[in-house]
């Protein structure tokens, strides 16, 4: 009888030993910091490349490491979007200029003049819903086409390239740019250690960094920025012939930007600046428009470009493949309910229609999985397509049933295929040659986690972008790098960034490094770091005018002009100039010392729209100071009015003064042109005599049309 007792004792000891071992494994114990694993503890062999069918092949669904990483990332915010949380949207239509049947069988791209309803959502990427519109950031530019063959979503940005080449790195990028996890700061800003630590170790981000540090990242208006599909897609025509395609949206108002000081001030004065601007423009009937442009490349000629079209960190210079304008998009209706429409809209790059297909871009391939997963989490289940804003305008039928938030009431007993119960005879669905057909592309082998050597050039196009900028634009890029890196606490990170920039342009790197308290840029140091590949593919061009924002035209439609007044203002010449502005499509607002009215020099009452303090100069594109000795004297003695003009001058905006208004310039220390003084760029001085008024109005319109006057000297010394 002793044997069972001994067995029990042995089992108890064994159990105690096992329990002791389990206790040694504390919940969520941290593994070695020099090794990455899955959530199940499986060592990850490569955290930079997804599993693909050949180096340039599609990403494979069996990549459980990528799926786990992306799935976790997609569900990290509830219910706010992980990225693109702050946005605004509007309805409109797309009208086709010319048939594209030669390239695609997509129904909405066949008939000239055909109009397709659209919904567009603009957004910032990094900030939360409560952040400001005017932060330095990439802008989302997503268009949902409600076509007769189903919804097509063109999900892009206002910058044509991206930070990383493979979706495997997307969660790392966003983690790095978001507020740092230990204290949740800074909000909606890339100027901090974790972002620059990440990008300094990832040379593939260099081209995108050049764009984000340029004026493109602080647009004047959502109506004045370009949009891009970013990825390379395919058009497939009725004969099955494919062309690679890149999508562009070209704003009819031209592409224009804020200056950095102005963007920062607007963030405090009106954090809804871009959203308000879009809403008010549509509400007032000033419908914004963009033209859709395409770059089309025969598949057999893609290799001759000198870079890989599957690489999302590259663009196709317009000098090499011109953009063909094929249609226009007009936004003409604001939303009725922000939450129901703008917040609940669900975009997906995988929402394509027959005639449009994907390429093997490894970033795009990951997004095809990620967007569905994100919408399931954000909108509560698989039926988000039934929300009114997401419904197609064409009939649809399948046997998907039930789930959270199901809205359609499906009738009958059949919810499967094939069946005989629906019609009494066998019902079997066979699409045949109709419907969506994937392009029959031959795939490489073997499957592997590696990147094609054709992705190795990280600097040629960054250099092309730098060479394409005007002198003022280059100064802005240098200043942006300096500002961002000055916020980085660790000098070694600043050093790595400027070492990388030395591979873009040595002068750029030296200028960025000057005020940062670090060593001179060292290109060899960058080249010696792990993962660095200094490969150059020769481009046939050294610069491209399309990459600059300096000369974009667009007129002055919807530009806002402040008319600065005080008691005793003379309105004769003012009204002539004001009418010239209105005829050119500008919006004029009278800004005075108080709301209500001010008395003019003739004793009449002039209505005031805003005050100097509640609508500062950063909200306007130009300033008009009318004549009137009493008005000019009052303005010169009012600190808010003085600051208004100084700030506009500092931001290189057009300023027009009439008659005695010139005295205000002298009071401010701004040299008014005269016999012994040269003209100041963008500062117009006119006489109040009737013969000079019409010409002054025309000159003022032309000067505003230049957007900014970057040649204006010594603006850094202006105390505003």
Nearest to 92 by CA among 344, 288, 294: 288
> Residue 500: which region, alpha, beta or left (left: phi > 0; alpha: psi -120 to 50)?
alpha
Q: Which residues are part of the catalytic machinery?
A: 84, 157
Tell me the three state secondary structure of residue 36: coil
Alpha-carbon torsion angle 524, 528, 532, 538, nearest 10: 40
Alpha-helical runs (H) found in 223-347:
260-269, 273-283, 338
State the Rg of the chain over Cα: 30
Are 116 and 108 in contact by the 8 Å Cβ rule? The answer is yes
Using omega within 30 degrees of 0 as the cis cutoff, is the peptide bond preceding 186 cis?
yes
Regarding beta strands 242-251 and 233-236, do their DSSP bridges make them parallel or antiparallel, or are they unpaired? antiparallel
Distances (CA, A) of 713 to 670, 678, 683: 11, 12, 12
Residue indicated by tokens 């660095």: 532
Question: DSSP of 586-629, one letter per residue?
Answer: -EEEEEESSSEEEEBTTS-EEEE-EETTTS-GGG-SEEEE---H
Nearest to 245 by CA among 152, 369, 151: 152
H or E element in which residue 146 lies: strand 139-147
DSSP 8-state secondary structure symbol assigned to residue 678: P
- β-pair partners for 52: 59, 448
Give the other-Cβ count within 10 Å of 531's Cβ: 9
Alpha-carbon torsion angle 381, 384, 387, 390, nearest 10: 170
**Alpha-carbon gap, residue 1 to 456, rounded angstroms:** 76
């Amino acid at each position: 009888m002793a044997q069972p007792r001994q067995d029990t004792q042995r089992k108890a000891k064994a159990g105690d030993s096992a329990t002791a071992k389990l206790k040694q494994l504390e919940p969520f114990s941290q593994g070695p910091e020099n090794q990455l694993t899955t959530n199940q503890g499986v060592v990850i062999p490569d955290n930079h490349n997804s599993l693909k069918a050949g180096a340039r092949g599609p990403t494979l669904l069996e990549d459980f490491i990528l799926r786990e990483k992306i799935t976790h990332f997609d569900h990290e915010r509830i219910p706010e979007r992980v990225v693109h949380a702050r946005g605004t949207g509007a309805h409109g239509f797309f009208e086709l200029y010319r048939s594209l049947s030669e390239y695609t069988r997509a129904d909405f791209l066949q008939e000239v003049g055909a109009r397709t309803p659209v919904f567009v959502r603009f957004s910032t990427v990094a900030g939360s819903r409560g952040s400001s519109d005017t932060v330095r950031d990439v802008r989302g530019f997503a268009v949902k086409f409600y076509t007769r063959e189903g919804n097509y979503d063109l999900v892009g940005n206002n910058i044509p390239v991206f930070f990383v080449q493979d979706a495997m790195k997307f969660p790392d990028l966003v983690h790095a740019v978001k507020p740092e996890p230990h204290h949740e700061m800074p909000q909606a800003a890339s100027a901090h250690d974790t972002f620059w630590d990440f990008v300094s170790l990832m040379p593939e981000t260099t081209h995108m960094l050049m764009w984000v540090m340029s004026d493109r990242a602080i647009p004047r208006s959502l109506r004045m920025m370009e949009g891009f599909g970013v990825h390379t897609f395919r058009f497939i025509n009725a004969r099955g012939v494919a062309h690679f395609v890149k999508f562009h949206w070209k704003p009819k108002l031209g592409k224009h930007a804020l200056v950095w000081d102005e963007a920062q001030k607007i963030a405090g004065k009106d954090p809804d600046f871009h959203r308000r601007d879009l809403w008010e423009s549509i509400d007032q009937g000033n419908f914004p428009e963009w033209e859709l442009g395409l770059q089309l490349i025969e598949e057999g000629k893609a290799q001759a470009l000198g870079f890989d079209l599957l690489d999302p960190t590259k663009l196709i210079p317009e000098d090499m493949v011109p953009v063909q304008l094929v249609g226009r998009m007009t936004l003409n209706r604001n939303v009725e309910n922000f939450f129901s429409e703008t917040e609940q809209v669900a975009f997906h790059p995988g929402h394509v229609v027959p005639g449009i297909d994907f390429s093997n871009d490894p970033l795009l391939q990951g997004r095809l999985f990620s967007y569905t997963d994100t919408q399931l989490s954000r909108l509560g289940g698989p039926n988000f397509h039934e929300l009114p804003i997401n419904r197609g305008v064409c009939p649809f039928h399948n046997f998907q049933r039930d789930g959270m938030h199901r809205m359609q009431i499906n009738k009958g007993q059949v919810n499967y295929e094939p069946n005989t119960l629906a019609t009494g005879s066998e019902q079997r669905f066979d699409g045949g040659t109709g419907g969506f057909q994937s392009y029959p592309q031959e795939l490489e082998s073997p499957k592997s986690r590696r990147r094609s050597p054709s992705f190795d050039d990280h600097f040629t196009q960054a250099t092309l972008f730098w060479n394409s900028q005007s002198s003022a634009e280059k100064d802005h890029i240098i200043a942006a790098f300096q500002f961002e890196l000055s916020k980085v606490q660790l000098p070694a990170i600043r050093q790595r960034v400027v070492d990388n920039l030395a591979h873009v342009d040595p002068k750029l790197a030296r200028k960025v490094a000057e005020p940062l308290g670090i060593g001179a840029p060292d290109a060899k140091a960058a080249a010696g770091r792990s993962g660095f590949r200094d490969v150059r593919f020769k481009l046939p061009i050294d610069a491209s005018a399309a990459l600059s924002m300096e000369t974009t035209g667009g007129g002055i439609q919807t530009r806002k002009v402040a008319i600065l007044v005080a008691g005793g203002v003379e309105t004769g010449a003012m009204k002539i100039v004001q009418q010239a502005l209105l005829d050119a499509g500008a919006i004029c607002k009278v800004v005075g010392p108080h709301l209500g009215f001010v008395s003019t020099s003739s004793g009449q009452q002039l209505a005031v729209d805003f005050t100097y303090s509640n609508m500062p100069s950063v909200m306007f594109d130009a300033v008009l100071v009318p004549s009137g000795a009493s008005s000019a004297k009052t303005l010169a003695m009012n600190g808010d009015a003085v600051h208004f003009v100084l700030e506009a001058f500092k931001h290189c905006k057009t300023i027009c003064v009439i008659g005695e208004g010139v005295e205000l310039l002298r009071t401010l220390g701004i040299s008014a042109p005269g016999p012994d003084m040269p003209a100041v760029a963008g500062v117009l001085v006119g006489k109040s005599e009737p013969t000079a008024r019409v010409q002054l109005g025309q000159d003022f319109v032309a000067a505003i049309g230049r957007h900014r006057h970057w040649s204006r000297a010594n603006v850094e010394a202006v105390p505003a």
